[in-house]
């Protein structure tokens, strides 16, 4: 239990560092896709980027099981053609319909336009099993943002990152990006709980040992 408490403290520190990195990146001047590709990709996480691109409105992906304000929905991942290659762009969240068999109607502008967002490096969860089948049906419902899987479906080389588009008041998509799922303060609260449980267990152990010694003396 003491080890779990220390682990929660470490997670809180990691989250603090992540939030600090996001804050510093937000103050950085916007870069273009070529600058991202010329740099160490891990150093470009959360960097603001802008580019001209044309979205593919006929072949896009819906990232499943995304919750916003208690409502179930999808995040819309759209391939976008740019001068630097094809990049996957997360347009944001849309609500699901009342039936899992009926996907929401998505309208995506296909005209070449200037887009702005931040660089995201999706992490794959080995415990999540992908269900989408490679065939000619679109859109595709995905269980996670796995660029290798997306490339198999799209059958075209993709840039090694995703762009999360900036929020826009006029956009039908909700773009409320959370850099960390659990705040550092929550990890600290969990750490305190583990330390209290460990202390309680230690006290119980000491009392039990004292009672045992007393019985042995008798």
How would you classify the pairing of strands 140-142 and 162-165? Answer: unpaired
The string of pLDDT tens digits covering residues 122-163 is: 887 777 888 888 888 899 999 999 999 999 999 999 999 999
Q: Specify which residues 142 forms β-bridges with.
A: 63
Domain boundaries in the chain?
A: 1-23+182-218, 31-179
What dihedral angle (degrees, nearest 10) is formed by the CA atoms of 78, 145, 82, 119? 120
Contact at 8 Å (CB) between 62 and 145? no
Q: Which of 16, 77, 89, 107 is nearest to 49 (CA)?
A: 89
Mean pLDDT of 15-19: 73
> Which tens digit of pLDDT belongs to each residue from 80-131?
999 999 999 999 999 999 888 899 989 998 999 999 999 998 887 777 888 8
Mean pLDDT of the chain: 87
The CA distances from residue 152 to 122, 185, 210, in Å, are 16, 40, 66
């Amino acid at each position: 239990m003491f080890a779990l408490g220390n682990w929660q403290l470490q997670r809180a520190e990691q989250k603090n560092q992540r939030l600090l990195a996001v804050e510093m990146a937000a103050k950085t001047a916007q870069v273009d896709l070529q600058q991202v590709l010329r740099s160490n990709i891990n150093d470009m996480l959360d960097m603001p980027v802008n580019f001209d691109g044309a979205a593919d409105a006929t072949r896009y992906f819906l990232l499943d099981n995304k919750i916003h304000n208690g409502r179930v929905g999808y995040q819309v991942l759209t391939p976008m053609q740019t001068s630097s290659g094809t990049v996957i762009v997360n347009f944001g969240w849309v609500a699901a319909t009342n039936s899992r068999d009926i996907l929401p109607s998505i309208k995506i502008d296909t005209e070449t336009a200037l887009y702005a967002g931040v660089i995201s490096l999706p992490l794959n969860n080995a415990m999540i099993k992908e269900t989408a089948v490679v065939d000619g049906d679109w859109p595709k419902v995905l269980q996670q943002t796995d660029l290798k899987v997306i490339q198999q479906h799209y059958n075209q080389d993709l840039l090694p990152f995703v762009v999360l588009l900036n929020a826009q008041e006029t956009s039908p998509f909700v773009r409320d990006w959370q850099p960390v799922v659990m705040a550092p303060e929550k990890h600290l609260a969990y750490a305190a709980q583990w330390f209290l449980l460990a202390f309680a267990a230690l006290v119980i152990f000491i009392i039990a040992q004292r009672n045992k010694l007393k019985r042995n003396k008798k």
